[in-house]
Chains A and B, each alone.
Chain A
Amino acid sequence: MSASYFFLLSDPNVQYVALGAMLLTGSSALMGTFALLSKKSLVGDAIAHAVLPGVCLGFILAGTKEPLWILAGAFLTGALSVYLIDFIVHNSHIKEDTAIGLVLSVMFGAGIVLLTAIQKTGNAAQSGLDQYLFGRAAAINRQDLLVFGTTSVLIMALVIVFFRSFTLLAFDRHFAHALGFNVKFIQFIQTTLIVLAVVIGIQAVGVVLMAAILITPAAAARYWCNSVKTMLWLSSAFGMISGLCGALISYAAPAMPTGPWIVVVASVIAFVSLLVAPEKGMLSRSLRQRRLQQTIAQENLLKTLYKLGEKNEDFLHERTAQEIMRNLKSARPQKLLRQLLKQGYVERNNNHWKLTEAGYLRAQRIVKIHRLWELYLTTYMNIAPDHVHDDAETIEHLLTPELEKELERQLGYPSTDPHQSQIPYRKT
């Protein structure tokens, strides 16, 4: 962000807008976490679109852009859409996705009808009503801030109170029921809060793109953590960042609609998250695969050295690189040897290589697991001895020490594998 944006922040008007946008998107993203976890994020999209006729009705009834009336109208039609989707799905063979799309588009269409009708009445107060379509963060004033701020705080408070119930509901509603939770009531509260979150979120993002502020920050947060609590924090933080950026951009360039910018910022956060997040990110997963591949190749090389020594029991004997290569299918044995050298598993003497003690032990363990697993497959799984090699080739790189012990125990520390090769145990 450039310096001029920070300069902007000292302006009290900008402070209202920035604070307002952050409150709105932050609390929406908070409920979005639960919408996402209960696989209801697209119901959120339907609610958002369905809010439009309510906004217009609120305006018609109040005659002005009174935030409370508009909130109330929006809330009513938003909640109605959830009810309608449910009703259609339960009373016909129509599937949920169709019901969502149907309610979403028809209610939005009705909203457009009302909006156009209002605009044609020539009522001066209506100007700006269409800002609900793509967000009106830049127009937030003190009074708005009060109403939306209170709602946001209410949402946050209720999330804290119902945290455990919501989490359980999203995770396993049958279990929740069995535990004696009033599932219907909790569901009702959760739906109400999601509708409320949508209703206030649209002030910042607008109805068309509101779904993003429910889904996107929560989806981004999902990549960084494994606990619902952390996810809530992160999700609302991501929401707030998007809200702040969107508000500042729309303030700096008034012709720009706020909503799309908030959505783009949130989306970028999500894309970055799904790429680089540790553990769950795509990069880290493909990196782990690379490392696994490397380990397997290295261990195969150690195994080759070990097996060369098996004939004459001279495991620590030096071998030429050529001899190793003759017995190993690998594209780059030299590179592998150098890596193993650095890790201290092999030693080098000009063109000669030999296992170190550590390398010997590691290779021995791999060979042992390989042969034990072959035996396991033939004894416990009735697999013919000539069909067990390939499987053992991969399992030998995988087993943890605990599983290794368990394997030895179940087989009773056998001395030979199905092909009558010795199973090497570590001397104690």
Chain B
Amino acid sequence: MPIGYEDITILITGTLIAICCALTGSLLMLRRMALAGDAIAHAVLPGIVIAFLLSGSRSSPFMIAGAAAIGLFTTFSIEMLQKKARLQNDASIGLTFTFLFATGIILLSMLAGQVDLDQDCVLYGELAYVPLDVWITPSGTVMGPRALWVTAVLCLLLLALIIVARRPLLLTTFDPAYASAIGVSVPFYHYLLMGSVSVTTVVSFELVGAILVVALLIAPAATAYMLTDNFRMLLVLACLAGAVAVAAGYAMAATLDTSIAGSIATANGLLFMLAFIFSPQHGLLFRKKRKPVIH
């Protein structure tokens, strides 16, 4: 099968998304907040639909800001449900995101025809259409696929953030008590991370759909976690695992003529399985008998 311009565009965009997700997802995993990431990935839907309706375009800065606000709102309301309403943690997460996602789907059905966004897009994304949506500047210059630009910018921003703030991010994740003891604001980095997750999710959402965002957030991080004990290496390997899964999934989708998003999620799962079994350090095959777990 020859690889054309379109395939390359899709692959590059997909890889960029995978990198964004892997970076934020690794931190979520280490903070044991993987499911908060899952929740945000679902909860941004109503924000996307409303912003879509108001701005009439995709990937506008307006929309990214709006949906990121909803992401932070989700984080905040999960915390409030726990603190003020004293709901247990898992139920707070479940209640919040199912409600917001359901609202989003209902809005979609009500606005069917008014917005260029439907249930299929929500679930599967539209990675295949990336090459078609071209960014043309007001002066008429054709700049290439819009999504490619957006994801590239986001990717650079996230990389910069993680490089600049690597120390406080690591410290507030690893030992928040020590971090706040030496004067680092733990809540600030918490919301900074959740904000980044929200923006990442919003940008990825349209392209790969709600569930694949979750797969890209969590699976590459988990794969890398099986392979290394080093924080920096973990981030690198997670990006790598995400990128490989995108390529493999895309090839699989083309071969089987099926959903790209679904195939990428499946490829992610297969990669994890390989790491889970064959990892030299933690793999099932090489693992020393674990110390008995004391409950």
Do the two chains touch directly in the complex (Cβ atoms below 8 Å apart)? yes
Minimum CB–CB distance from A257 to chain B (whole Å) comes to 6
Binds B, one of A1-9, A110-118, A190-198: A110-118
On chain B, the residues within 8 Å of A40 by CB distance are 90
Option from B93, B221, B257, B261 in Cβ contact (under 8 Å) with A109: B261
Q: How far is the CA of A246 from the CA of B32 in the complex (A)?
A: 34
Q: Could you tell me if B258 and A109 are in contact, using CB atoms closer than 8 angstroms?
A: no
On chain A, the residues within 8 Å of B268 by CB distance are 105-106, 109
Report how many residues on chain A are interfacial, defined by Cβ distance under 8 Å. 60
Q: Could you tell me if B106 and A100 are in contact, using CB atoms closer than 8 angstroms?
A: no
- A92 interface residue per 8 A CB criterion: yes
CB-nearest residue of chain B to A219: B91
On chain B, the residues within 8 Å of A158 by CB distance are none
Within 8 A of B (CB), among A242-259: 255-257, 259
A-B contacts, CB under 8 A, total: 199
Chain B 271-283: CB-based contact to A (< 8 A → 1; otherwise 0)? 0100010000010
Q: How far is the CA of A88 from the CA of B269 in the complex (A)?
A: 12
Within 8 A of B (CB), among A83-98: 88, 91-95, 97-98
Q: Could you tell me if A41 and B90 are in contact, using CB atoms closer than 8 angstroms?
A: yes
Q: Could you tell me if B106 and A101 are in contact, using CB atoms closer than 8 angstroms?
A: no
Given known pairs A98-B221, A112-B259, A212-B94, the reply for A274 and B214 (CB within 8 Å) is no
- B109 interface residue per 8 A CB criterion: yes
Binds A, one of B2-10, B97-105, B143-151: B97-105
Q: How far is the CA of A215 from the CA of B263 in the complex (A)?
A: 30
Interface residues on B, range: 35 or more
Minimum CB–CB distance from B241 to chain A (whole Å) comes to 12
Within 8 A of B (CB), among A190-239: 208-209, 211-212, 214-216, 218-219, 222
Minimum CB–CB distance from A197 to chain B (whole Å) comes to 15
Q: Could you tell me if A105 and B212 are in contact, using CB atoms closer than 8 angstroms?
A: yes
On chain B, the residues within 8 Å of A212 by CB distance are 94-95, 98-99, 102
Given known pairs A257-B109, A282-B84, the reply for A264 and B212 (CB within 8 Å) is no
On chain B, the residues within 8 Å of A112 by CB distance are 123-124, 211, 259, 261-262, 265
Minimum CB–CB distance from A11 to chain B (whole Å) comes to 23
- B119 interface residue per 8 A CB criterion: yes
26 pairs of residues in contact across A and B, judged by CB atoms under 8 Å: A40-B90, A42-B35, A91-B276, A92-B287, A98-B218, A98-B221, A101-B38, A109-B211, A109-B215, A109-B261, A111-B262, A112-B123, A112-B265, A113-B256, A117-B257, A208-B123, A209-B101, A211-B98, A212-B102, A216-B95, A219-B91, A256-B109, A257-B106, A257-B119, A260-B102, A270-B95
Q: Which residues of B are interface residues toward A (Cβ below 8 A)?
A: 29, 32-35, 37-38, 81, 84-91, 93-95, 98-99, 101-103, 105-106, 109, 112, 119, 123-124, 211-212, 214-215, 217-219, 221-222, 225-226, 253, 256-259, 261-266, 268-269, 272, 276, 282, 284, 287, 290
Closest 8 CB pairs between A and B?
A109-B265, A112-B262, A106-B269, A212-B98, A105-B215, A260-B102, A263-B102, A267-B99
